[in-house]
Each structure stands twice: as C-alpha cells, then as structure tokens.
Structure 1
Amino acid sequence: MNRDIILLRTVEVAAIASYKYIGKKNKNLVDQAAVEAFQVMLKNEKGFKLKVVNGEGELDEAPMLFVGQILGDLEDPSVLTYDVSVDPVEGTHPAAYNYAGSISTIAFSRENTMLQLPEMYMEKLFVSTEFKECINLSKGIVFSIEAMQFHAKRKDLKCIILDKPRHQEIIRKMNDMGIIVRLIQDGDVLAAIDVVNGEADFVYGIGGAPEGSLMAALSISSDCKMQSRLVRYEEVWPNELETIERQNKERAWLEKYNLDFDSILHDLDLIDDHKVRFFAAGLTAGGSLKPVDYKNGKFYVNAFMSSHGIVRNFNSVYDVKKVNSLKPEIKFLFDKYKR
C-alpha cells in the first residue's frame, strides 16, 4: 500500500483511539491510546522502515515511539528506511480537558536528513508563502513583523501565539503594531496548519523544540517558511527549583547534538529534504482542522497532508462495522478504545 495512505490512516486511527479519553482529565490515557494505535498500524507494514528521530522524548523515557525505534518492515533488510518525527498527540492536556488544541501528527523524510532535537525550548517563527522572503529572526521578531507589514502594504496581519506569561510583552507590542492576535492555549503545530490553510499569516512563540521538527516538515512540504533558535530554560522559567538541573541537562544536550543558543535554524537545517511529507488528524483540533466525532456507528475524522508544495485537507468516515469486518488490526483498536 502507498506509504502516504498508510501514514494518513495511522494519524486518523490514533485520533479515533484517543477519542475515548477526551474530557476524562487524564492526559496519559490520551497519549497511550494514540501511541498504541501508531504501533498497531505500523508494525506489520511492508516495503519500508521508519526510524524515530524525534519522538516521545528523553524526559518522558517513553517505552514506545522513542528516539531510535524502528517501525514498519523489520524483516526485509533491503527496504528503504525513512526518518520520522512523531507526536501521537500534540496537546494531550487540551484533549484530556476537551478544549481545542490537540492533533495526532507525523512527518517523514529521507534517511539521515532530520536533525534530532533535544527536549528544550525553541523560539519559532512560521510564516505563510507570501512572506517567505521577509523574515530574519536574527534581527528579532519585530523586524520580521515590520518587514511583513511593509511587503503586504497593511498592518492588520494575523498572528497565532501561545497565551503564556513569556509572550505577554510581544503580545502587547504586536497589538500596538496593529497585528490581529489570536491567542491559543496549546498546539503550535496545529497553529502552523492554520497558517498553511489561510487562517492566519504567521505563528510566533517559544514552545517545544521537538515540535519544531514537525513544523519544519510542514513548512518545507507546503512551501511556507520557518526560522527558529533554541532558548535557555531559565529565560522561560527563571525562578523554578528545577532550573539549575535543567541548565546542566541543556549543556549536555547541546554538546550531544552539536547545537547552540545563538544559531538561527531554518526549516531546511532541521530537515534537509525538499520531499519531506507531513500528516495530521484532528483530535479536539480547532481552527481549520475539525475535531474527531462519532455518530451512529461511524467516526468522522478531519485530516491534513502536505508534500511537494501540495496541501490536502481530508474528511474521512470510518464505518466501524465495515472496518471491523475487513481490518482486524483496526478492529482490535476500535474494540479496545470504543467509548
């Protein structure tokens, strides 16, 4: 079967499996359901292997979808291996408490083209195709915003940004500059999808570095643009008890990954492959992606894919009875995670 269809179906089924735990106030159950769906959907696929480059994370010490794990065709040594960045549920907290901001997502590229990113903070600027040539994060976010406004010949550009204390100053500045600011609680990968789908002009803010790989995949595959840089933990949490411990970890991570806090990382620095592919499916979703729903024996899933500058938005319907009779591996998941 075509790899794209397999990965599209994988994120859709992961969203369906996690649907059981929406609003149950347990983000671990949300994540575990999606992770198991990924394992089940990919473990027996033939013709390719997937190597997890950015996965569930070192801090989590995840038992599955960990960095270095191989998925797919483990029996045939001749098949091609691809790098993947995966987040079974980006936004476990909004899914657990049933508000907008959660998706299931994966991206893959040629082997040895993805940069492994540490569990650190990252400043990220993701802009639509219109503003690809305008941004220069090395000169600061205000410079890039002014350049985009000059290019567009208007001030009322739309920005999506996480509503966090670390962003309050730039939010005030953008309001003063005439920017229309849309605040979100979680999900900068989902926000970047909204930019691709024309819901906003850019996403800016400090979030997780591993998610930066997924945003880079989306940027390259949809012909947008992203720039980023790593951020010290103490810049985000200067007074936390664990700050000193995290500083020590950051030093080790930077040495391990040959990274620093000063370099501006472009999307192609994170994934050196113009043919990278990106997939996502809405869980509680929000913006241009709709949440998964269930009615009368059918799951309704809104999914997204981008590659080669082509953007696709899908509406998929899973008839549980029909799928169970034809796909036993999915039946296992549907039976286990039925609501």
Structure 2
Amino acid sequence: MPDQLWIERGKELARVTDSVARSVIELSGKNEKNRADHICVEAMRSGLNELPYKMTVVIGEGEKDEAPMLYSGEVLGAGGEEMDLIVDPLECTTNFAKGLPDSMTVILAADRNSVIHVPGTYMEQILLPLNADPGPEIFDMDRKEVLKRVSLALDVPVKDLTVIIQNRSRHENLIEDIRSAGASVALIESGSISAACDIFARSENRYHMLWGSFGAPEGLVLGFLSRANGYRFYGRIDPHNEKTEEEARELGVLGRVLRGDEWIAGSGVLVMTGLHDSTWLRGVRRSYKNEEVDHTTTTVIWSLGQKLELECFNGRFH
C-alpha cells in the first residue's frame, strides 16, 4: 500500500487511540493497573470494530503478565481491506497507575501476513545506528566490540556513549559489561518505545542505543520504528517459561535473530496517543469549566516515509 494511504489509515486509527486515552485518563495515578488495562482493551476493541476493515491481531499485550488483552488471532472491524495489527492498549501500565511519565496507547497496522507471529513473552533486543550493524551475530559478539562499532559509526568516544537498559536483575551482566567498557547506562523502569523515540529525537544527543530483553510486542514496534528512522534493530525471542518456549518453537522463531524489516516485512503505520507526558509526546490535558471536563490529546502517526502529529479536542481533530 502506498505510504500516503497508510497515513490516511493512521488518521482513522488515531480516532481509536484518542478514544482510549480519554476513556482511561481518570484512572491516572490511582494504582488500578488491571482496571485501567481493561478499560483500554475494551475501548480499543470497540473503536476498531467500527472501522471498515478486517483487522487481525497478530499479537496483543498482556499474555506474559496475565493482564487483560486483545488476543492473538482476534479479528476486528466491520470487514473490508485486510491488515495485521499489533496492539498495546496501555503501554507502560505501571507508570500510568503510579502517575509517572511515559504512558500511551499504541496501534501498529501492517500489510496482511507481513508480520512474523511471536508468543506473548520477551525478546532480546538491540537498537543501534544503521552503519554500526555487525549482522545477526550481534547477540553473541563481545559487547565491547559492539560498543566500538557504535562509537565509530557516530564518531562519539565509547566513554561518551549512553545505552538505555531496563532496570531488571536479568540485565545485571549486560549493565556491568557496558560500564566496564567505559560507556554509560541509562536505566528505565519501563517504556522501551518511549526510550527508542528519545534516541530517534537525538535530544541533546544523550542516548545512543537500546539494549536488553523487553516485551516481544514492543520489539515488533521498535522494529518498525527502526526502519522509519534509519536505525538497525535486531530481536531474538527470549521465552519466560516452557509454554512460550514451545510456542516460539512451533512458530519457527525460537533462536532466530531477525532484523526489524524481517519481523515486519511490509509497509504499515504506527499510531501512538499520549496518556502521560514524555519528552517527545504530550499526554492528555484536562480543563474544567462549569463542572464539565474537556480533553485534549496528542497523537503521533508514523509511516515508513512520514511522521504526522495531530491534536484532538474532545474527539475532534484539528
């Protein structure tokens, strides 16, 4: 599908993510993760079912942490043109429940049958400059060598590189290796998509890479974003239990290291509406008058060739 048509599809999907954001924002900071997740899932399901397409959910967020979810294989829409969907109705659920930055609602639509199916588990991921790409052996390389390649590609000394990593015990060795090589580590609690967008924005040239084991749905989104922003992404499924290991084996992805353009081979569009502010995307703004509440949202629409930012006031884009 031509890029501009994907942008138009993105505008339709943006009405769904805007509705999700307005539906859940009153639970911001109220420590009700599951209830907020459920509201987002149902609002997204309802909105997608109104669109004149036949959309198949390739992977939905939730299985690895047993949260409410739009399930893999679920078909949505009123019928028509077919496409694959990757959905995360409430990205950074914990941040949203705690009232912290970096939460949003996400839909990625792609050409039908262009997305490799993955189980609802984790994925080893690395995001780095395109011209630092050493190939699919990257996860088995000496980590100092990977950092040297990034240093040369960016013309930035290793000591000035900063790698974004999630603050989890599974990353202790990775963090130690990066710091022992002389580079810096920026630890995040959640929000790999937002972290990647900080890298793409090159704000103060502070962040240079993302590395570690994150959710597989987010990995597919990062794979798409890497293509849209001239970066290289590699991912390898990292099952968290025997069930997802067997699923990965049955799907033919266990042990495979794939680029972003292999995880999602076709074209598509990514739609993200902010719930809480991040450095690159504004969250929902509420204003009050005569006991009525007005909502303003910001949505980013990203195709492989374009990026569009829209504001919506009470469900009306302008």
> TM-score by structure 2 length?
0.85
Counterpart CA distance in 2 for 1:195 and 1:213 is 17
Q: Is the 8 A contact 2:41 2:68 kept in 1?
A: no
Q: In 2, are the aligned partners of 1:109 and 1:276 still within 8 Å (CA)?
A: yes
**2:153 alignment counterpart:** 151
Contact 1:126–1:202 (Cα < 8 Å) also in 2: yes
Alpha-carbon distance change, 38 to 169 in structure 1, aligned in 2, over 3 angstroms? same
Structure 1, gaps ≥5 residues long = 234-245, 327-339
Is this contact kept in 1: 2:37–2:67, CA < 8 A? no
Contact residue 283 and residue 291 of structure 1 kept, 8 A: yes
2:296 corresponds to: 300
Q: The residue matched to 1:277 in structure 2 has which SS?
A: strand
The one of 247, 259, 268 equivalent to 2:261 is 268
Instruction: Name the counterpart of 2:246.
Output: 252
Q: Deviations over 1:203-227 (max 9, x none)?
A: 1111112221121122223332210
Q: Which residue identity lines up with residue 298 of structure 1 in the other structure?
A: D
Matched AA of 2:213: I
Which residue of 2 is the match for residue 118 of structure 1? 119
Query: What is the CA–CA distance in structure 1 between the aligned matches of 2:148 and 2:76, rounded to whole Å?
Result: 44
Shift of 1:172: 3.3
Distance (whole Å) between structure 2 residues aligned to residue 170 and residue 59 of structure 1 = 22
CA contact (8 A) 1:106 1:214 kept: no
TM-score, normalisation: structure 1: 0.80
Q: How does 1:33-48 map to 2 (within 5 A)?
A: 33-46=39-52, 48=53
Aligned length: 300
Q: Contact 2:61–2:217 (CA<8 Å) still a contact in 1? A: no
Output the CA distance in 2 between the equivalents of 1:132 and 1:119. 29
Equivalent residue number for residue 107 of structure 1: 108
- Inter-partner Cα distance in structure 2 for 1:36 and 1:80: 23
Q: 1:57 to 1:4 in 2, by over 3 A?
A: same
Q: Distance in 1 between matches of 2:212 and 2:186?
A: 12
8 Å CA contact 1:190, 1:285 repeated in 2: no
Residue correspondence of structure 1 range 300-339 to structure 2 within 5 A: 300-312=296-308, 314=309, 316-319=311-314
Segments of structure 2 that go 5 or more residues without pairing to the other structure are: none
Q: Work out the CA distance in 2 between the residues paired with 1:196 and 1:309.
A: 15
- Select 2:209's aligned residue among 171, 183, 202: 202
Question: Residue 166 of structure 2 corresponds to which residue in structure 1?
Answer: 162
Partner of 1:216, secondary structure, is helix
Q: Which moved more, 1:29-38 or 1:120-129?
A: 120-129
**Deviation at 1:180?**
3.8
Q: Pairwise mapping of residues 198-237 of structure 1 onto structure 2 (< 5 A)? A: 198-199=202-203, 200-233=207-240
- Against the structure 1 CA distance between its residues 59 and 171, is the aligned structure 2 distance closer, same or farther, given a 3 Å change threshold? closer
Change (3 A) 1:86 1:7: same
Bigger proportion of residues as strand: 2
Task: Tell me, in whole angstroms, the C-alpha distance in 1 between the residues paired with 2:144 and 2:270.
Answer: 29
Whether the aligned pair in 1 keeps the contact of 2:239 and 2:245 (CA below 8 Å) is no
Of 16, 30, 48, which residue of structure 1 is paired with 2:22?
A: 16
Q: Sequence identity, in percent?
A: 25
Give 3-state SS (helix, strand or coil) of 2:171's partner. Answer: helix
Q: Does 1:282 align with 2:281?
A: no
Q: Distance in 1 between matches of 2:115 and 2:197?
A: 20
What is the Cα deviation at residue 182 of structure 1? 2.1
After superposition, the Cα gap between the structure-2 partners of 1:140 and 1:106, relative to the gap in structure 1 and judged at 3 Å, is: farther
The letter of the residue matching 1:213 is: L
2:30 is paired with a residue whose SS is: coil
Residues 62 and 68, structure 2, Cα contact 8 Å, conserved in 1: no
RMSD value, Cα:
2.5
Relative to structure 1, the CA distance from residue 211 to residue 163 in structure 2 (aligned partners, 3 Å threshold; closer, same or farther) is same
Q: Which residue of 2 aligns with 1:236?
A: none
Deviations 1:172-210 (A, max 9, x none): 333343434322111112212222222432211111122
